[in-house]
Amino acid sequence: MANNISSALNAYQQALGRLGSKLPVEEAKPAQSDFKEMVTDALTTAVDLSKKSEQMSVQGITGKADIQDVVLAVSNAQMALETVVAVRDSAIKAYKEIMSMPM
């Protein structure tokens, strides 16, 4: 069991090392005061991550990508989707609460 954990940790460290050199460096953006822009940016990011995940999956199937990169891309897309769904659910809940308030 300890061997499996240590080999898993080593694999994650290797993936992190490879990923560290591939991460894009984003320049600081000015503070966004517009809620619509914030939501649009979040949705665009989720869609981009989903597309990248699909591309990495295809590359993994054809043997052109490392399995760790594929798993990482799919995990990132899944987390982005879960975040979008959670925000959507919160917005719907808030809307329902506002609509149920007496006038």
Answer whether residue 20 is part of any domain: no
pLDDT of 8 > 70? The answer is: no
Taking alpha carbons only, the member of 62, 65, 55, 82 closest to residue 18 is 65
Three-class secondary structure of residue 30 per DSSP: coil
Answer whether residue 25 is part of any domain: no
Q: What pLDDT does residue 19 have?
A: 62
Q: What is the pLDDT of residues 17-31, one digit of tens each?
A: 766 555 555 555 665
Q: How many structural domains compose the chain? A: 1
Taking alpha carbons only, the member of 53, 51, 32 closest to residue 41 is 32
Answer whether residue 10 is part of any domain: no
Q: What is the pLDDT of residues 41-70, one digit of tens each?
A: 888 999 999 999 999 999 999 999 899 999
pLDDT of 5 > 60? The answer is: yes
Answer whether residue 84 is part of any domain: yes
Q: Which domain holds residue 76?
A: 33-103
pTM: 0.61
